[in-house]
Amino acid sequence: MKVYGDYHTHTQNSDGKNTIDENVAAAQKRGLQQVAITDHAHYRPRNAQKRLEKALLLKAQTIKAGKVHGIETFYGVEANVKGTHGEIDVSNDERKIYDLVVCGIHASVPPKRWYEWFTFYLPNLFWYCLRRMLHVELTPKGRIRKNTRAVVNVIEKNNIDILAHPNRYFRLDVMEVAKACVARGTVMELNNKHISFRPIDFERMVAMGVKFVIDSDSHKAENVGRMDRVESFLKLCDYDSSCIINLSQPFARPKAALLSQIVEAAHGSDEVR
């Protein structure tokens, strides 16, 4: 599968194996036109000033690597859902530094509030571990509803470009999450490491107007731009390729349905007056 760019890759600056330069070189060798460096937010220094300084340094390295290897680069981050109230671990001020923000739930990242250890994190971790051991879906419907509301809150309250590996760690109602993505112009990811919904779910989300991006989520340079598992998944689906924005064009967030409604409502008010 030929894709224009890979917008979810990791380096030694979080849990990846290679340098920024090696990831960018691998993307160029794979024939990509664009690549993003999106290391995990929770690997950054805790001190706000040091975090800012390091982000600016890594962004400069990312830009330099792109110039050296003749490929367009983005410096981004993979943020984490930090509970049920819509918080992520990237502030609005920090958001200005990043070219794009990928965000998702990670089983290794605890919530912000102490009580959500017991109401959100530990219950989900229990069902996740049980599912991994027994290879059977056992997550209660009530837990899925709570998880879905948490992710919808995150999408609605933050400027997120890509929702990473939805439904992978803590189970969600992907249809409800899809509605929020369409409303906010957030792109849903087809992750080459983890596709955690069915082909029929994908087809239904496409019908709802969801836009997707194919990403490698690579932690090794050799896997940057690798999309073989996604390709196998898509062979099982009936879809229009225009729903996948990086099959033939640069990354760009789709126009948000919610924004369109606001604009239309404003025009309607003008006409009435």
57-83 tens-digit pLDDT: 999 999 999 999 999 999 999 999 999
Please tell me the predicted confidence (pLDDT) of residue 272. Answer: 42
Q: Which residues of the chain have pLDDT under 70?
A: 258-273
Cα–Cα distance for residue pair 158/162, rounded to 1 Å: 11
How far is C-alpha 4 from the geometric centre of its chain's CA atoms? 17
Interatomic CA distance for residues 53 and 62, integer angstroms? 14
Q: What is the CATH number of the domain that holds 256?
A: 3.20.20.140
Is the entire prediction scored with pTM above 0.85? Answer: yes
Strand partners, 80: 104
- The domain tally of the chain equals 1
What is the structure's pLDDT at 269? 44
pLDDT at 260: 56
In the prediction, which pLDDT does 79 show? Answer: 97
Q: What does the pLDDT read at residue 92?
A: 85
Q: How far is residue 208's CA from residue 224's CA, in Å, rounded to a whole number? A: 30
Can you say whether the dihedral through the CA atoms of 196, 198, 204, 210 is positive or negative? positive
pLDDT at 93: 84
3-state secondary structure the chain: CCCCEECCECCCCCCCCCCHHHHHHHHHHHCCCEEEECCEHHHCCCCHHHHHHHHHHHHHHHHHHHHHHCCEEEEEEEEEECCCCCCECCCHHHHCCCCEEEEECCCCCCCCCCCHHHHHHHHHHHHHHHHHHHCCCCCCHHHHHHHHHHHHHHHHHCCCCEECCCCCCCCCCHHHHHHHHHHHCCEEEEECCCCCCCHHHHHHHHHHCCCEEEECCECCHHHCCCCHHHHHHHCCCCCCHHHECCCCCCCCCCCCHHHHHHHHHHHHHHHHC
CA 253 – CA 185 distance, rounded (Å) = 6
Which domain range does residue 206 map to?
Answer: 5-272
Beta bridge partners of 6: 35
- Please report the pLDDT score of residue 271 as a whole number: 46
